[in-house]
Amino acid sequence: MKKPSILFTLVLGITFIAANLFTPPLSACTRVVYKGLNGYVITARSMDWKSEIPANLWVLPRGIERTGQVGANSAVWKSKYGSVVTTSWDMASADGINEKGLAANVLWLAESKYPVFDPNGTKKGIAISLWAQYVLDNFSTVTEAVENLMKEEFVIVTDYIPGSEIFTTLHLAISDEGGDNAIFEYIDGKLVIHHDKSYNVMTNSPTFDEQLSINKYWKDIPGTVMLPGTNRAADRFVRASFFIEAIPKTDDMRIAVASVFSVIRNCSVPYGISTPDQPNISSTRWRTVADQKNLVYYFENALTPNTFWVDLNKLDFSSNAPVRKLEADKFQIYSGETSELFKETKPFVFQGI
């Protein structure tokens, strides 16, 4: 490969530094989808935040009756599919996979602006804490979810994170066993849906269409020559996009899962780094990897020395099965497959408005 000229490298370096100096810091978290051989699909994400964000894993069976938690005008539904989710503070589903291999990940998006919810209006409401759970409960594929959500039969309703002055602004990414992807964002009060199998990476700000534009620019620069290395969301997007295509394409579970973990770790923020008064340049608190072909869900906490997992094939998702929980919020250490360690527990309550 021909080496870039000194002038090219200097100009690119100045451009890169200027972009970092004059672009405001952006929120954290990264999500990436791997596509290996023979239909092997894996979705990984990092959860980054300025302080500890306690996470527990839950087994949620079929047949649970839910409400949107926004008062009398809440949407109501019964879960069609069972799921394994990771919660934030046991008040929201931040991440998860259902028994059909549909994965859902919510990430921060500061630019989000949601429609005004009328408690007495014709549209039902769903609290933002249930956004990902609604998808996991009701759909087996990305196409099903897109076709339903594009009808806008309900309004996502948000509020401040309890006990803080941080207004919750999220976007939602979903992927399925077939490798399809969709991103849902609320921009200027309107739902924007990006649906394409190629949308394998998502971070935070800027909005997804701008993330794609930034990545298009970097594709003209070989990733083996230079990649943006800061913890800014745009830079993590570029690195994730390059590395998820560079790792081996295989259907060997051991190699594929290890490779995907290496990518999401590369895009994580080192522990102990944060910016005061901002949930943006923030440490990675935990990571998940969802093997959608084999239905195995992996979890890794930054403050524990190992990774553990749960095999969904060993779980009871029947409508008469109990809700079960695996505590991970106090940095408990588990080894290997943990389905038998989940304990029957009273369901957590989604944060309402």
Please write the tens of the pLDDT for every residue from 220-279.
566 555 677 677 777 888 888 999 999 999 999 999 999 999 999 988 888 887 665 555
pTM score above 0.95? no
* Residues of the chain where predicted confidence (pLDDT) is lower than 50: 1-27
**Mapping DSSP to helix (H, G, I), strand (E, B) and coil, where does residue 225 land?**
coil
What was the pLDDT predicted at 226?
A: 62
Does residue 267 carry a catalytic annotation? no
What was the pLDDT predicted at 13?
A: 44
Q: Residue 309 and residue 226: Cα distance in Å, rounded?
A: 34
What was the pLDDT predicted at 275?
A: 61
What was the pLDDT predicted at 222?
A: 61
Q: Residue 274 and residue 125: Cα distance in Å, rounded?
A: 34
For the chain, where are the alpha helices, taking DSSP H only? 6-22, 131-138, 142-149, 208-218, 233-246, 253-266
Residue with token string 């799921």: 83
Q: Residue 338 and residue 334: Cα distance in Å, rounded?
A: 7
What was the pLDDT predicted at 194?
A: 96
Which is catalytic among the residues 28, 29, 102, 295?
29
For 63-207, where are the alpha helices, taking DSSP H only? 131-138, 142-149
Backbone angles phi, psi at 340, to 5 degrees: -75, -10
Nearest to 67 by CA among 77, 79, 82, 81: 77
What was the pLDDT predicted at 3?
A: 46
